[in-house]
Amino acid sequence: MSESAEALVRRWFDEVWNRGDASAIDRLLAPNAVVHGLSPDGKPLVGREAFKPFYEQFRTAFPNLNVTIDQVLNQGDRVAAYCRVQGTHTGPIMGKAPTNLPVSFTGMVIVRTDGQFLVEGWNVWDFLRCFTQIGLQLQ
């Protein structure tokens, strides 16, 4: 059954990120999806299995993460969403021990769908702001 691109993106943020349902990755992300903008080396993550370590690391560091979609633009099979992210740093990330500090940052994604899965995504998140709030020094 085909689902609107916007509905798929909203489900992605609700189920995967807000509810922390890792099994939703397999239901919503295409097996060979291409995810841009999340890898430190600038290379895209290709496939569900390549995305899962990023997800696990981030959800471990911020298990109460909440993503709010503030703005959505939808054109055919593509959706642009401007989001606010909030959470608490209660798990380790990139060598930084938990600080129990709150984080709040914003970001945007552009997602291409096929009516069943998210097949490609371009991410621009203010990770610098996030990591600065927990005292993580990036080099």
Q: Is the pTM of this model over 0.75?
A: yes
Which amino acid, one-letter code, is at 128? L
Q: What is the pLDDT of residues 59-117, one digit of tens each?
A: 999 999 999 999 999 999 999 999 999 999 999 999 999 999 999 999 999 999 999 99
Rounded to whole angstroms, the Cα distance separating 118 from 77 reads 10
3-class SS at 119? strand
| Structural domains present in the chain | 5-133 (3.10.450.50)
In this prediction, residue 2 carries a pLDDT of: 62
3-class SS at 77? coil
